[in-house]
Structure 1
Amino acid sequence: MKYRKQFDRQVRAEDVWIPTRDGTKLHARIWRPTDAEAHPVPALLEYLPYRKSDWTAPRDAQRHPWYAGHGYASVRVDLRGSGDSEGVMLDEYTETELADGVDVINWLAAQPWCTGRVGMFGISWGGFNALQIAALRPEPLKAIVTVCSTDDRYDNDVHYTGGAVLGIDMLAWAGTMLAFTARPPDPATVGDTKWLPMWRERLDALEPYLHTWLAHQQRDAYWRHGSVCEDYAAIDAAVLAVGGWADPYRDTVLRLVEHLPGPVRGLIGPWSHQYPDRGLPPGPAIGFLQETLRWWDQWLKDDDTKVDDTNVMDEPLLRAWINDPVPPATFYDTMPGRWVGDDMWPSPSVTWDERPLGGADPVIVRSPHHTGIDAGRFFPFGNRTDLPPDQREEDGRSVCFDSVPLTDRVEILGRPRVRLRLDSATPRANVIARVCDVAPDGSSTLVTRGVLNLLSRHGRDRAVEWQPGTFEDVEFELNATGYAFPPGHRIRVAVSDAYWPWVWPHGTRGALTLHPADSAVLLPVRDPGADAGREPIRFDEPEQAEPLAVTVEPPARGRAERSVTHDVATGEWTLEVDPNYGGSRTYPDGLSYEESALERYQIRADDPLSATAGSQWTIRLRRGDWDAEIITSTELRATAAEFIMDSRIEARSNGETVAKRAWHRTTPRTSA
């Protein structure tokens, strides 16, 4: 990693309040060249609820000053009701959030130090709202960079997958956001007399997002809002879409390069849910800031002010990393592999290889309900326990179909599909398919997977119960991947009807009957000679601005980052996870930010109604005589007929309770 202390243009940072149409003011930090009033520059916006004063401050310091030093005003804004901004935040990606974003863009474009051209970038939430605001077409917004984001809020987000409830992140993310939205503004920014009334306003407005998310179990107007896949043509800004094979949102990159009508380029590396320059596993990291600078220069600057005169549209439409085979592990510092490029998507270099599962006799799929305990983290974050371990135990809980040992290397790129001829013993059931790379020693590396709630087999907007005793052909996509199977290895397709805690089980114990001879996996096989004669794809080494002087506290002893226990007598399995988003740290301004979280998922192997998921958070902020603490808990369980939600929060100031609330809600299980 190369750190830059000096740039061609001297940089200044300032905090400002940006007004919105209803008078609510959003707090922003702007890094820009000191001579921008005399020589105006384009503006870049990152717009998040994660608090620029503490939670994202180390990451912000890496990129915003760097962009400013290269001739941009780089702007970090706290969403309404988050960080130091006024107002309250009631949900993800609300119309208010997006309208505020448009107000901010128009305000930036009107500043005397701005040329009137604006770009927007972000990862995860910031990548989501960059796409969504681009679809609103504010005139100054000319380009975006969206990283680890989604175009489909229902089927490619943290709530549902394949029409099934995401047990692991529906609950965990709701618990996280309950704690996050309850955090107070900083009195050092908003004032000693204002911070407590602002905090009380936030606490009074709290309603766990889980209540809303579980009230919409099918793809309805709630989920279509903010899903740009509903109308790709609404986006005319230039879009650089970025993802990682270890990130759950990677499918979006392929859909965007296929469907966006305007300028678009896609980039998928081996990365987790992180910016690709940060060096967090799995690598290799790339010079991502330099790559995005080329994008900004192309769309936001005049020719005489560009750093690089090459046209970014000369790059392949899609640049993707092909992972070479590796033994299964929960952590890879660097993945072996290579970059490939395709000028069209779908690519003529990729053809479908249909492989029947085999066997003429039907087989019964009836997995124990703890199948999925070795699925790994839904959002790999660069931690040592994030990725799926050896899948042999999971394979043993599934019905597996193996190819013969391969005679040649087989590279796949895209979204594999499975077609299964099934009958379900119950009206409601899930089916899960995994593709694994099985080495000669029997070790099994997860390559990709997919889920289908059979209720949604005719569309995510409806629930159609299965008629037991009836066979149907169902087909569904697995997550996108770029992977090379080597000679001598076997391709395994593993089928199960349980995948806890990723997928919440239906309320009745069932079983599937599968006809292998009428079932197949369809692999997107890429021609290994497709890159002959093409210039190799290369990236600069990572470069960032000088890091923020943050002191990170070591994690508490005695707590594993991820642990699995099995009570043999009761048959209960328990998964405990410390999400380890960064832990506790002290900032240069004296702010101490303490964070502790624990997720717990429990189920008995023989009882789908034994499933419970819980999330606990404690966050404490201190500086001088200011001391604010938030303690939350969220729990989800279910009967055969309804989901049951219990949430609690206590907020304290200097040890005294400011607010204490509890919620108990139920909602019918309409399709999940």
Structure 2
Amino acid sequence: MTVTVTEQIWVPMTDGTRLAARLWLPDGAEAKPVPAILEYIPYRKRDGTRARDEPMHGYFATQGYGVLRVDMRGSGESDGLLEDEYVKQEQDDALEVIAWMAEQAWCDGAVGMMGKSWGGFNCLQVAMRRPPALKAILTVCSTTDRFANDIHYMGGGLLNDNHWWGAIMLAFQARPADPLMRGADWRSEWIKRLNHMPFWPALWLAHQRRDAYWQHGSVCEDWSAIQCPVMAVGGWADSYTNAVPELLEHLNVPRLGLLGPWAHIYPQDGVPTPAIGFLQEATRWWDHWLKGQDRGIMAEPMLRAFVEDGQNPVSTTKPAVTGNWRGESAWPSRAIAETSFYPQMSKTLSTQPGSGTAAIRSPLYTGTACGEWMGTGVIGDMPGDQRGDDGFSLVFDSEPLTEDVEILGNPVIELLLASDKLLGQMAVRLCDVSPTGASQRVSYAVLNLAHRDGSEDPQPMVPGKPTPMRLKLKMCGHRFAAGHRIRFAISTAYWPILWPAPEAATLSIDLAGSRFTLPVRNLGIAQTPVAFQPPAHGPFAPITQTSQSRLGRSVTIDTLTDTATYVTVGEGGLFGEGVFRFDEIDLTLDHGLTRRLTVQADDPLSARSAISQYFDLGREGWRIRIETETEMTGSATDFRMTGQVRAYENGELVVERLYDQSFPRDCL
């Protein structure tokens, strides 16, 4: 089927704002209208996601769909200002876009919405608003709870990725619209955006508990608000897998879940492989709900999940994994049962409750084998061998397994725990230990102890008082092979994932009141066959790569000061894409960032996060450069974030912004 791509159209809002969009249409749609699919994000349709959009949306158009890729208000070529993530205005605009799409001559009135990450979030949020034309959504790498499971906080603790992502947003949002699309006012609009742009990481640091700010846009606040069918997709190497089982369990609409081995990537391009024919699966979904054609998608198991085999964790690059697809007809699954393990003073796991007390106080740089909080499929971003971090942790090992053990779900740890400080934190890792001793991280979770009973009203610990804790680890699918050991490891720090508490705490665990639980699949039950077609794509955007990227990752420990320095570098392409030119629009892009995180083993107030960054884009006669520098430090009572943004046109400074903000620590 022939497809026509319109590089830019304007979608009018009732307040006079115009949103810029690209449109893919199958030929003949004007005469015979087709259903439409919306993707609605702030990442610049013209250049930011062009390489991904072309083969994906072009494919859907060949299957008889109109696809509209819209830049949100204040991003790309669109009018207006972007104030924050997931604000009500964002949803209001989406409602207008959907209504506008349904009224176009090329649309038959049925609209679906899809997206990954930000776009996956707002699919769910817009579905809660129930626009009449929205018939189904497809959400990828998203969350149901913006505080509990996003890039800002985890277990009530502050993620260092809050700073990382905020720094990237400074560079992303500092870029101007393309004058060839925007027209003569591009420069004045650019300057307006630069002078108005918020200090992104500070926006989120201002809310350190689960208040109304985070409740807004969290679909777990009212599951019943979603009334359209939902397909939810995630990957084990990503950070958003928990949303898939939560949506399956709590929604009361037709729903499907898909969990593969992938990082933060659409599954047709999935890394680690195997990638799958996801665009074919999505088309089956859209055909069912937008065209009324039964392609068998709703006869598939409610959850299709890839259960990974254990791997040698010698490398932090994981291009491929092995394993098997499993199909669960319902979630929670009747084929999965809790199996309990009890920690013993001998540092072993038993089927019988233990006794005695075990204590742990880890060096604050425990966690340097953690990999990235959010895997993106680039080299070096996966967790490495955990033995170094295990050595700084309290570990409990099973005996070598006499048969394979397959798990699918959320491991759970219950502890009776006392702290010698008011504030503290805990990290728990589930590991697969091979006969060689190599330790592979399977799942993990972290907890700010003040948030043990929830994040709306955190309370400090009472020093010395045994306190029950229950912590659900990240959703996982894994097969522990016979001869391997199951390991639970507990530490009092997880750097550089988590910012440390203001004092280094020692935790004492009453083993008699503690238990670890695994979601074990019954391998004796007949397995539902699960199979996918090979990946398919539409035509790719013509690209010329002008240089390769340089990626670096290192951890060093200064033995004189006992200070660890964790450095990640991405030059000439932050995610390994290199410096490249979009040939059709003659636009070259180059993005680089260096992140340096340091902490002293026994001094939480030594923690520091510093990020320097550049973004270059342009063509002959029009060259834009963005430079940012940001830093975060903390005292016993406050956090401080500073930042600088410089925007250049053809080598001349246009705007410089300086930021310096402090926030009281709130049980953090």
User: How does the TM-score come out when normalised to structure 2?
Assistant: 0.96
Matching of residue 348 in structure 1 with residue 338 in structure 2: no
Q: Tell me, yes or no, if the aligned pair for 1:271 and 1:283 is still in contact at 8 Å.
A: yes
Supply the distance in 2 between the matched residues of 1:616 and 1:102 (Cα, whole angstroms): 37
Given residue 153 of structure 2, which amino acid in structure 1 is its aligned partner? Y
Q: How does 1:565-604 map to 2 (within 5 A)?
A: 565-578=556-569, 580-581=574-575, 582-588=577-583, 589-604=585-600
Which of 284, 294, 311 is matched with 2:296 structurally? 311
Secondary structure at the aligned position of 2:129 is classed as coil
Supply the distance in 1 between the matched residues of 2:332 and 2:234 (Cα, whole angstroms): 17
Secondary structure at the aligned position of 2:519 is classed as strand
Q: Which residue of 2 aligns with 1:659?
A: 655
Matching of residue 157 in structure 1 with residue 150 in structure 2: yes
Which of 65, 75, 78 is matched with 2:68 structurally? 75
Q: Which residue of 1 aligns with 2:59?
A: 66
Matching of residue 259 in structure 1 with residue 259 in structure 2: no
Q: How does 1:26-175 map to 2 (within 5 A)?
A: 26-167=19-160, 169-175=161-167
Structure 2: any 5+ residue segments left out of the alignment?
A: 346-354
Supply the distance in 2 between the matched residues of 1:333 and 1:431 (Cα, whole angstroms): 30
Q: Tell me, yes or no, if the aligned pair for 1:124 and 1:147 is still in contact at 8 Å.
A: yes
Q: Which residue of 1 aligns with 2:611?
A: 615
Q: Which residue of 2 aligns with 1:197?
A: 188
Supply the distance in 2 between the matched residues of 1:397 and 1:76 (Cα, whole angstroms): 48
Q: How does 1:167-566 map to 2 (within 5 A)?
A: 167=160, 169-191=161-183, 193-279=184-270, 281-303=271-293, 309-328=294-313, 329-359=315-345, 360-532=355-527, 534=528, 536-555=529-548, 560-566=551-557
Q: Tell me, yes or no, if the aligned pair for 2:195 and 2:657 is still in contact at 8 Å.
A: no
Kindly state the Cα deviation for residue 420 of structure 1 after the two structures are TM-superposed. 0.9
More displaced stretch, 141-150 vs 329-338? 329-338
Supply the distance in 2 between the matched residues of 1:391 and 1:71 (Cα, whole angstroms): 49
Q: Tell me, yes or no, if the aligned pair for 1:132 and 1:226 is still in contact at 8 Å.
A: yes
Supply the distance in 1 between the matched residues of 2:356 and 2:78 (Cα, whole angstroms): 63
Given residue 235 of structure 1, which amino acid in structure 2 is its aligned partner? I
User: Structure 1 residue runs of 4+, over 6 Å off?
Assistant: none
CA 302–341 in structure 1, closer or farther in 2 if over 3 Å, else same: closer
Kindly state the Cα deviation for residue 10 of structure 1 after the two structures are TM-superposed. 4.1
Given residue 601 of structure 1, which amino acid in structure 2 is its aligned partner? L
Q: Which residue of 1 aligns with 2:351?
A: none
Q: Tell me, yes or no, if the aligned pair for 1:12 and 1:34 is still in contact at 8 Å.
A: no
Kindly state the Cα deviation for residue 529 of structure 1 after the two structures are TM-superposed. 2.4
Secondary structure at the aligned position of 2:269 is classed as coil
Given residue 115 of structure 1, which amino acid in structure 2 is its aligned partner? D
Given residue 618 of structure 2, which amino acid in structure 1 is its aligned partner? R
Supply the distance in 2 between the matched residues of 1:196 and 1:18 (Cα, whole angstroms): 21
Structure 1: any 5+ residue segments left out of the alignment?
A: 1-6, 304-308
Secondary structure at the aligned position of 2:396 is classed as strand
Secondary structure at the aligned position of 1:544 is classed as coil
Given residue 44 of structure 2, which amino acid in structure 1 is its aligned partner? R
Kindly state the Cα deviation for residue 560 of structure 1 after the two structures are TM-superposed. 4.4
Kindly state the Cα deviation for residue 606 of structure 1 after the two structures are TM-superposed. 1.5
More displaced stretch, 85-94 vs 515-524? 515-524
Q: Tell me, yes or no, if the aligned pair for 2:412 and 2:471 is still in contact at 8 Å.
A: yes
Question: Over aligned residue pairs, what C-alpha RMSD do you find?
Answer: 1.2
Given residue 613 of structure 1, which amino acid in structure 2 is its aligned partner? S
Q: Tell me, yes or no, if the aligned pair for 2:287 and 2:295 is still in contact at 8 Å.
A: no
Given residue 247 of structure 1, which amino acid in structure 2 is its aligned partner? D
Supply the distance in 2 between the matched residues of 1:430 and 1:10 (Cα, whole angstroms): 54
Supply the distance in 1 between the matched residues of 2:242 and 2:269 (Cα, whole angstroms): 22
Deviations 1:634-665 (A, max 9, x none): 11110010000101101111111111111111
Q: Tell me, yes or no, if the aligned pair for 2:13 and 2:93 is still in contact at 8 Å.
A: yes
Q: Which residue of 1 aligns with 2:348?
A: none
Secondary structure at the aligned position of 1:88 is classed as coil
Q: Which residue of 1 aligns with 2:632?
A: 636
Kindly state the Cα deviation for residue 201 of structure 1 after the two structures are TM-superposed. 1.1
Supply the distance in 2 between the matched residues of 1:639 and 1:38 (Cα, whole angstroms): 66
Secondary structure at the aligned position of 2:213 is classed as helix
Given residue 340 of structure 1, which amino acid in structure 2 is its aligned partner? R
Kindly state the Cα deviation for residue 331 of structure 1 after the two structures are TM-superposed. 2.1
Given residue 170 of structure 2, which amino acid in structure 1 is its aligned partner? L
Supply the distance in 1 between the matched residues of 2:52 and 2:333 (Cα, whole angstroms): 35
Deviations 1:280-316 (A, max 9, x none): x20100000000000000000144xxxxx43321111
Given residue 530 of structure 1, which amino acid in structure 2 is its aligned partner? I
Supply the distance in 1 between the matched residues of 2:612 and 2:97 (Cα, whole angstroms): 34
Given residue 272 of structure 1, which amino acid in structure 2 is its aligned partner? A
Deviations 1:384-437 (A, max 9, x none): 101101000010010101011111111000000001111100010001110100
Kindly state the Cα deviation for residue 263 of structure 1 after the two structures are TM-superposed. 1.1
Kindly state the Cα deviation for residue 14 of structure 1 after the two structures are TM-superposed. 4.3
User: How does the TM-score come out when normalised to structure 1?
Assistant: 0.96
- Taking only the aligned residue pairs, the percentage that are identical comes to 44
